[in-house]
Amino acid sequence: HLGNFGIVLGAALQDWRKRDLAAVAMSLALAGPTSEAVNGAHPLGDPTAPLVALAKHLARDGHSIAAGDVVITGSWTGVRQVSAGSNATVIVDQKAALELSVGEPTKERH
């Protein structure tokens, strides 16, 4: 029962079948009002395991995952709040893969 405010999709990883996805090094660095550094791994080890489980579950009811569907299979660094005024950097295999700056909250207009 967790929601995402957004999902960032990158380019398709063409050689993903050749990689040991359980061995991918992942870290998250948060800088701002609340600073934190987290090293992580997929909670099930293999990030394809939940995808296979979902496909099997859907197949029992005659459904499937369609081309172009986005399936989130778990957080590699756990759930983190990124507060306003913070910067987050995701590092995959020692290379910065994503940087996010969260601005100050806007005032609601009435």
pLDDT of res. 55 = 95
Q: How far apart are CA 109 and CA 106, in angstroms?
A: 9
pLDDT at 2 over 60: no
| pLDDT digits 0-9 by tens, 55-71 | 999 999 999 999 989 88
54 in Cβ contact with 65 (< 8 Å): yes
| pLDDT digits 0-9 by tens, 34-58 | 778 888 888 888 888 999 999 999 9
pLDDT of res. 8 = 72
Q: pLDDT averaged over the chain?
A: 82
pLDDT of res. 59 = 97
**What is 20-69 written as a DSSP string?**
-GGG--EEEEEESSS-EEEEE--TTS-TTHHHHHHHHHHHHTT--PPTT-
Q: How far apart are CA 74 and CA 26, in angstroms?
A: 13
pLDDT at 1 over 60: no
| Global pTM value | 0.65
**67 vs 8, more confident:** 67
